Amino acid sequence: MENEKINVLLVDDDVDLCALLSEFLEGDGFSVHAIHSGEEAVNTLLNSNQYDTVVLDIMMPGMSGLDVLRAVRAEKQTPILMLTGRGDDIDRIVGLEMGADDYLPKPCNPRELGARIRAIIRRTQQLKAPATVITELHGISLDIGARTASVKGRPITLTGAEFNALCLLMERAGQTISKQEMTQEVLSRPLEAYDRAMDVHISRIRQKLSAVGVNNVIKSIRKVGYQMLTSPQSQK
């Protein structure tokens, strides 16, 4: 996808920061629309399909970024990149648990923000793949072309990051995949110090699979990474 086709909704109550980031991103070929309140963000996103990704500040007065995330995720899977305060680990984890695709600490480098947006778009735009490839295991069926998931015919809703993580695990079932490799493959960025993003995405996948009766198929390998088991692990 070319940059000029990427429509970004930037949500932050800091008007000056929005102007700075918008200027850089638009100079880099993105189309940016900035708004400054959570209420307006929810109204815009729930009534429009024009945005390819959302850059969302967590700390806003009134309706916070987490409130926006909760409201949007109840209706849509539009990719969302959170902007969080540096060191705000709890907000990052909560945001990821609520369905954000990734996060970037503030103050952020505009060039890195552009790179993160491109990474999210690369992941989500795979849905335009012309061929439909079905991957199946444990009753889980992934349509790689349409980027849809189901369990024994029951649809399950996954974010872009969750879909890619589950796809990687299923394609390499029986193999241990390090957290470093999963972060690079799924989020298109290196694993950072104290980075819990992948842990939260895996936790959400487990919860969604468990809700449709699939349990104990993703094993955590302590201090290494994760493995999709070829047969479910019995509970002790």
Measure the CA angle with vertex 77, ends 72 and 80; round to 5°: 75
Residues 74 and 17 grouped into a single domain:
yes
Dihedrals φ, ψ of 10, to 5°? Answer: -105, 120
The residue among 92, 125, 158 that closes a domain is: 125
Q: Is residue 233 part of a domain?
A: no
Q: Is residue 142 part of a domain?
A: yes
Give the CATH number for residue 41. Answer: 3.40.50.2300
- Buried residues in 167-193 as b, exposed as e (16+ CB within 10 A): bbbbeeeeeebebebbbeebbbbebee
Q: Is residue 135 part of a domain?
A: yes
Tally of domains within the chain? 2
236 residues of the chain, pLDDT tens digit each: 544 579 999 999 999 999 999 999 999 999 999 999 999 999 999 998 899 999 999 989 999 999 999 999 989 889 999 998 766 678 888 999 999 999 998 888 899 999 999 988 887 765 455 556 678 899 999 988 788 899 988 999 998 899 999 999 999 999 999 999 999 999 888 998 888 899 999 999 999 999 999 999 999 999 899 999 998 776 54
User: What is the residue range of 54's domain?
Assistant: 3-125
Residues 137 and 120 grouped into a single domain:
no
The residue among 106, 125, 144 that closes a domain is: 125
Identify the DSSP state of 44. Answer: H
What's the Rg (C-alpha) of the chain?
Answer: 18
Residues 117 and 10 grouped into a single domain:
yes
